[in-house]
Amino acid sequence: MRQRLLIVDDSMTTRNRIARVITDPRLAGLHIVGQARDGAEALQLARTHQPDVVTMDLTMPTMDGAECICALIEMLPDVRILVVSALSDKLTAIRVLKRGAHGFLQKPFEDRQLVDTMIEAIHL
């Protein structure tokens, strides 16, 4: 069964890049249902599209990624969340993993790193 992916990042070029990398054949089980610029927009899209997988930036306006992770898990308890962020110190990583994220990828990333981390995070 194909899994629905929501991309959340305040950078348009990063959202577009993730969308391109997701076309890798090893991620053929994923299809993109939406792209959000912040946590608030992500929650709106999540209500509509019920994503199975979310890539989540942390530093965003309106609602940041850490807050959004908690709200998403409350709304969709089975959602798998991969954090993709430049804030990659240990404390930040531990904090978001404790909140329920399933993986952490540091920006900047290579395309293959995103594919590998995604596969690991969502058990494709």
Residues at the contact surface with another protein, assessed by CB under 8 A: 11-14, 16-17, 20, 59, 61, 85-89, 92, 106-110, 113
Q: Which is nearer to another protein, 44 or 62 (CB)?
A: 62
Q: Contact 108/13 with Cβ under 8 angstroms? A: no
Q: Which is nearer to another protein, 23 or 48 (CB)?
A: 23
CA dihedral 115, 26, 122, 70 (to 10 degrees): 50
| Beta-bridge mates of residue 8 | 36, 56
User: What are the contacts of 104-111 at 24+ separation with CB within 8 A?
Assistant: 107/14, 109/84, 111/21, 111/24
CB of 77 to another protein, least distance (A): 30
Q: Which is nearer to another protein, 52 or 55 (CB)?
A: 55
CB of 20 to another protein, least distance (A): 5
CB of 83 to another protein, least distance (A): 12
